[in-house]
Chain A
Amino acid sequence: MSESDIKIEVNDLTLIFGQKKTQALKMLDEGKSKAEILEKTKCTVGVSKVNFQIKTGEVFVIMGLSGSGKSTLIRCLNRLNEPTSGDIIVNGQNITKESNEKLLDTRRTEMSMVFQKFALLPHRSIIENAAFGLEIRGEEKEARLAKAQEALETVGLKGFEHQKPSQLSGGMQQRVGLARALANNPEVLLMDEAFSALDPLIKSDMQDQLLDLQGEMKKTIVFITHDLDEAIKLGDRIAIMKDGVIEQIGTAEDILKNPATEYVEAFVEKVDRKSIITAGTMMFKQPTTVLLGKEGPESIIRKMRKNALQVVPVIDAQRVFKGFLWLPQVLRAEKENASDLMPYVTEDCPSVYADYTVEEMLPLTPGTKSPIAVVDKDNGKLLGVVAQTSLIIEATKYDREEIQQLKEQAIEQ
């Protein structure tokens, strides 16, 4: 990660609520627990020595249960909550040290926020709501209405300009909230539980729309949620927070495969891993292979015996995957003294790309005992092999019934 890639950098950020902040901060430095500090000083530690960096164009999800300090943390980024100590550096500017005027300017131009309860002005029309941020920063009426119109069209609310917020459904109201944030054309979007108040179906729609928009806009998004599935769907990286402390930061797979603490582990246990773990992470990366045209049946048999293999993947000189070669076929080739092995290779076999999930790979397994080849999306080169057993293990951990069904299907065939 080079310096210029970093949009937001947070160093040792701490926020303490209460009167005796200095004393509480000192106790925190001494490594005292939250409970001790509360008892001694009556101060609550909202955010405790948090560090992270967010890259330009990244969707960074901060997730935790209520009371974990995630909403307090996001409000530090635009100083709606005043941090007690630590630095927040956005675009190389230290937000925590900005004067009030500069801070207003930052809020008006660099960061916009979307709220859980939409926070629209009930007495204004939709377009006036969308233009609110521009109005605050003093743009001319015509210019701001034009930009607001554009933002409303982006979120798919054309035709609703002159309605009042109360006439719109929750999902549409949040679209207005999003349009209001986008109209300002900020580099950073702060989204505080933006979709948490919506029905599951609408929520999923909004998530898809946000991902679509993000594909075009490439904003830097800080997204707060208490919903791990949402975090996994949206986040390039996820920070898991508990009691004001960040427990782990990483991609969804990092966190699911290697939970850093018991808390994270307990958290991720509930998640449906089938839809997250991909072929790329579970594949065996350096399988024994057969290079087409270079190796004869005898050397292959020796290789397979040595590694106790029943089947090996076959590649050509460019490492492009050709198919699987099973031991009985090799033995036949040896008997028939064949020089070209290609007729003996089973070409009709499952192959996937690295980003296929377990869920997507499961339907490929019935009716075949073949492992699954993982190939490069662009050039078909072999990246690795997923054995059926590891696929079944990955799936059975969490859903026995489905695996039972698959087995039955396999037997029937």
Chain B
Amino acid sequence: MEKIIDIGQYIEVAVDWLTENFSGLFEFIKNFGNGFIEGFEWLLLGIPFYVIILLLTALAYFKVSRSSALFTALGLVLIYLMGFWDETMETLALILVSTLIALVQGVPLGIWAAKNNKVDKIVRPILDLMQTMPAFVYLIPAVLFFSIGKLPGAFATVIFAMPPAVRLTTLGIRQVPADIVEAARAFGATNRQILQKVELPLATKTILAGVNQTIMMALSMVVIAGMIAAGGLGEKVLEGINNLDIGLGFESGFAVVILAIILDRITQALGQKGNNDKLNNLKSKLNKR
């Protein structure tokens, strides 16, 4: 079928223009970002695998549940035995960096949108677009701006993973009861005090749900970013597809699933109250001694 309107060419022009005129900026971001990602990788790969397994298991034990801790320990050991430890840590590093950047941008934007209806009206459709656009599409400008590698992978991941952070922050702040905010105002609180002492604490649970969502979306995107040489488990999955290697495909697939479940359980638990019982018990026991 013949094209009647060609939107693609305008986007092409825009992206070309950006690449030509902001190459210096992109270069800077690339160097800076790569340093950041490599730093995380260096950290995660530098720590012996058994220490990381122990730390994550302990976190799951105290914050989530005994069974979750068991799953964490067994899952991570399985990943190590399958020989995917380094790839898993690379993927984890990319997830952490992307999530961090997405949150640093997304949470303040969410707060702004909660406070200002105009901002909310503008941001909302953009978030819809960011979330529903097929994830692969982001890889194209990412490659054009930054060529292939880890940083464009992180770039595409940030775009894809940011919406829930923005949305749930806005939601969390908007659902703080109006009378509590009014009470704070009646006692002479400034806008900043209201945000710090009332709105953010009361929205924490919802914002943490957003963090959980962001991490999960980052994970799915990081795997896709294997297509542009972002490394990690994504590249193994891709290798499995390209070589029609069912064994490799499923093995790396399992590693992704294990990582996803561990991250999900732990971040979900952080957002809920009453999970500190065990930790508090331990603290009080230690104090008694």
A binds B: yes
Interface residues of A (CB under 8 A from B): 78, 80, 104-109, 111-113, 115-117, 119-123, 132-133, 135-137, 180, 184, 190
Contacts of A107 in B (CB 8 A): 185-188
Contacts of A109 in B (CB 8 A): 188
With contacts A119-B177, A121-B201, A136-B193 taken as known, whether A108 is within 8 angstroms of B188 at the C-beta atoms is yes
A184 CA / B187 CA spacing, docked (Å): 9
A115 CA / B187 CA spacing, docked (Å): 12
Question: Which residue of chain A is the closest to B201 with respect to CB atoms?
Answer: A123
Establish whether residues B187 and A119, one from each chain, have CB atoms under 8 Å apart when the complex forms: no
With contacts A121-B201, A135-B197 taken as known, whether A108 is within 8 angstroms of B179 at the C-beta atoms is no
B53 within 8 A of A: no
Contacts of B188 in A (CB 8 A): 104-109, 133, 136-137
- 17 intermolecular pairs with C-beta atoms under 8 Å apart: A107-B186, A107-B188, A112-B186, A112-B187, A113-B186, A115-B182, A115-B183, A117-B177, A117-B179, A121-B201, A123-B201, A132-B184, A136-B184, A136-B187, A136-B193, A137-B188, A184-B187
Count B-side interface residues using an 8 Å CB cutoff.
17
Establish whether residues B187 and A108, one from each chain, have CB atoms under 8 Å apart when the complex forms: yes
Contacts of A180 in B (CB 8 A): 187
**The one of A78, A104, A116, A135 that contacts B190, using a Cβ cutoff of 8 Å:** A104
B15 within 8 A of A: no
Question: Which residue of chain B is the closest to A177 with respect to CB atoms?
Answer: B183
With contacts A104-B188, A108-B187, A136-B193 taken as known, whether A121 is within 8 angstroms of B198 at the C-beta atoms is yes
Interface residues of B (CB under 8 A from A): 177, 179-180, 182-190, 193, 197-198, 201-202
What is the predominant secondary structure among interface residues of chain A facing chain B? mixed
Establish whether residues B180 and A132, one from each chain, have CB atoms under 8 Å apart when the complex forms: no
Contacts of B185 in A (CB 8 A): 80, 107
Establish whether residues B183 and A119, one from each chain, have CB atoms under 8 Å apart when the complex forms: yes
CB distance from B201 to the nearest CB of A (A): 5
Contacts of A115 in B (CB 8 A): 179, 182-183, 186
Contacts of B187 in A (CB 8 A): 107-108, 112-113, 132-133, 136-137, 180, 184
A78 CA / B189 CA spacing, docked (Å): 13
Question: Which residue of chain B is the closest to A190 with respect to CB atoms?
Answer: B186
With contacts A123-B202, A136-B193 taken as known, whether A78 is within 8 angstroms of B179 at the C-beta atoms is no
CB distance from B188 to the nearest CB of A (A): 3
Contacts of A113 in B (CB 8 A): 183, 186-187
Establish whether residues A119 and B182, one from each chain, have CB atoms under 8 Å apart when the complex forms: yes
A180 CA / B183 CA spacing, docked (Å): 10
What is the predominant secondary structure among interface residues of chain B facing chain A? helix
Contacts of A117 in B (CB 8 A): 177, 179
A108 CA / B177 CA spacing, docked (Å): 21
A121 CA / B189 CA spacing, docked (Å): 14
CB distance from A159 to the nearest CB of B (A): 22
A75 CA / B240 CA spacing, docked (Å): 67
**Most A-side CB within 10 Å, residue of B177, B185, B187, B189:** B187
With contacts A108-B187, A135-B197, A184-B187 taken as known, whether A80 is within 8 angstroms of B182 at the C-beta atoms is yes
Contacts of A80 in B (CB 8 A): 182, 185-186
A106 CA / B177 CA spacing, docked (Å): 24
CB distance from B271 to the nearest CB of A (A): 14
Contacts of B201 in A (CB 8 A): 121, 123
CB distance from A118 to the nearest CB of B (A): 8
Question: Which residue of chain A is the closest to B190 with respect to CB atoms?
Answer: A104
CB distance from B53 to the nearest CB of A (A): 34
A65 CA / B174 CA spacing, docked (Å): 29
A181 CA / B57 CA spacing, docked (Å): 47
Question: Which residue of chain A is the closest to B194 with respect to CB atoms?
Answer: A136
Establish whether residues A121 and B193, one from each chain, have CB atoms under 8 Å apart when the complex forms: no
Contacts of A123 in B (CB 8 A): 201-202
CB distance from B214 to the nearest CB of A (A): 23
Contacts of A105 in B (CB 8 A): 188
Given A119-B177, A120-B180, A136-B193, 12 additional A-B pairs, CB 8 A: A78-B186, A107-B185, A108-B188, A109-B188, A112-B186, A113-B183, A115-B183, A117-B179, A119-B179, A137-B187, A184-B187, A190-B186
CB distance from B82 to the nearest CB of A (A): 43
Contacts of A120 in B (CB 8 A): 180
Establish whether residues B189 and A136, one from each chain, have CB atoms under 8 Å apart when the complex forms: yes
Question: Which residue of chain A is the closest to B193 with respect to CB atoms?
Answer: A136
A108 CA / B190 CA spacing, docked (Å): 11
Contacts of A184 in B (CB 8 A): 187
Contacts of B197 in A (CB 8 A): 121, 132, 135-136
Question: Which residue of chain A is the closest to B181 with respect to CB atoms?
Answer: A119
Contacts of A78 in B (CB 8 A): 186
CB distance from B191 to the nearest CB of A (A): 11
A104 CA / B192 CA spacing, docked (Å): 13
Contacts of A104 in B (CB 8 A): 188, 190
Contacts of B189 in A (CB 8 A): 136
CB distance from A79 to the nearest CB of B (A): 10
Question: Which residue of chain A is the closest to B204 with respect to CB atoms?
Answer: A123
CB distance from A297 to the nearest CB of B (A): 71
A120 CA / B184 CA spacing, docked (Å): 9
A145 CA / B157 CA spacing, docked (Å): 47
